[in-house]
Amino acid sequence: MNLVSPAPNPLEAAFTALIAHDKQNIVYLPSFMFLKLPSDILNVNQLIEEKTELYQRLPKYFMNKDNALQALQRNPLNLAFIPEELLDNDLIRTALTQEPLAIGYVKDKFRLSEYCLHCVLQKPETLGFLNEQQQSQFMVEMAIEKNPACIMYVAPKYMTYRLIKKAVTADNRAIEGVPSEFIDDELLNVVFAGQHFILGMVDRKNPKFITSHRINQSLNRFPVETLVYLINEKSSIEDNNIEYLDQLIQIDPIQLQQISGSYFWDREELLISLIRNRPDFIPYIVPSAYNLKISILAYKLNPEFKPMDVIVFDPEFMASTDYLDNLNWSLVDVNALGTATILNILNCLPENDERVYLLLGRLNGFQGIVHHPAVQAFLEKHRQDIYLALNPALINTSNMLTVNTDYLTYESLTSIDLHIKDDETADHLLAKDMIFYSVLSHDMKTQDRTLKAIEKYPSLVNKIPLDLLNAPDFLRLLVSSNPLMLRHIGKITEIEQFVA
């Protein structure tokens, strides 16, 4: 008697092909399918060896001590994904020996004192994971000796003036982690004598620590850094003190680029005077410092001025300067401009200007401006020409073609509801690029064209007509012919319906 093997489940075959194509695709595998795939395809040990990061994707019932140990040997931070019931001293030691920072994934009840000390001695910053009961005097001393910044992690029980002074003497930046109540003049003398600029850090701890004496100390040792900080953070609007700015310019005018734009917002006359007297300073000043009026002046004084997009495409700026005429449009990311800015540009450009084509043709979906009168007029005027230009039978014979379709993307065609309704034009566009499936009319989206388009661009699954999706066996055929569709299939249907 001949026994006929049952036909393989289409879903199992599709997932098998999906995982065989790339083990990374395990992320698309539902948990109920893990037990259904062949062991040579879903070999857990091999999977961890090839792509260790996928260990975290495994269902818990696939995890055991052996593959947990293997995962830790490949990447000790996999400790975060091992179920608590599998954890033991062997696994924890394996992880911490390779990477002390893994202590952050060890629950308190597993944190033996020997583990904590080992981690701190290897990487002092692991002190930050340990609570007061897990720290010790010896441990914090060793941490500070290796990395003074770890003073910020010392538990209150072990925080002493002696330990703090030891930390800031070794590295004055450690002051950032010192509680304010421990800071006095003696400690500040140590900090300001250190090798790093520290004024801003001390100011953030407590502004009362920043006296004229401390400012002068900082100016003597770090003049540029101190002046930049004083200008950005400590110059009051009321006195309008520009002494610091003058000093900075005398030292190095390029350092103007470190001054925040907000400094000039309430000092408009100061900025105008500065750029009038020294137009060569204009490129050094951050664009956010310039309002519309000063941007127009700056551009006229120095053509190298590069204003912000919100200024560039302001109607008044475009009308007052020739910036738009000199703009290299190929370098403009039109999709990042925003709807209001695009409308400003359209309002400033003549209707038949070549730049209208460049702008509209490069927009993804017209960003909601399709109903703007200028856009509607443009589209209505050229709608028929656009369709004719895409028709291979008419492209060389029509005298009406005035549209350069090189400027039109499939997103643009979709936005103007220009659905292709004849086979010849549909096949012509799909031969050029299957992405044009999006602009086919409902009747043109046949099963054959759909399968070919989805094979090239799986994300087009959302463009498939619902009646085609509901056709007998179409979804099975789609998945069977293109396993990668399983990445997207959840968007349109519940995958469990495939299970026999």
Mean of the pLDDT values across residues 269-288?
93
Around Cβ 393, how many Cβ atoms within 10 Å?
A: 12
pLDDT at 253 over 90: yes
Asked if pLDDT for residue 289 goes beyond 80, the answer is yes
Mean pLDDT: which of 62-71, 118-127, 396-405, 434-443 is highest? Answer: 118-127
Winning range, highest mean pLDDT, from 241-245, 273-277, 384-388, 406-410: 273-277
Query: What mean pLDDT comes out for the span 388-392?
Result: 57
What is the per-residue pLDDT for 175? 96
- Average pLDDT of the chain is 80
Mean pLDDT across 11-32: 68
Residue 399 — very low, low, confident or very high, per pLDDT cuts 50/70/90? very low
Backbone angles phi, psi at 197, to 5 degrees: -65, 125
pLDDT at 276 over 50: yes
Model confidence pTM above 0.75 = no
Domain spans in the chain, listed from the N-terminal domain onward: 168-221
Amino acid at 305: F
Q: Provide the pLDDT for residue 340.
A: 76
45-59, 177-191, 383-397, 442-456: segment of lowest average pLDDT: 383-397
What per-residue confidence (pLDDT) applies to 93? 94
pLDDT band for position 234 (50/70/90)? confident
Higher pLDDT, 13 or 466: 466
Q: Is the pLDDT of residue 500 over 60?
A: no
pLDDT digits (tens, 9 = 90+) for 441-464: 888 899 889 888 887 887 787 788
What are the structure tokens assigned to 89, written together?
């001293």
* Per-residue pLDDT at 149: 96
How does residue 158 score in pLDDT terms, banded at 50, 70 and 90? very high
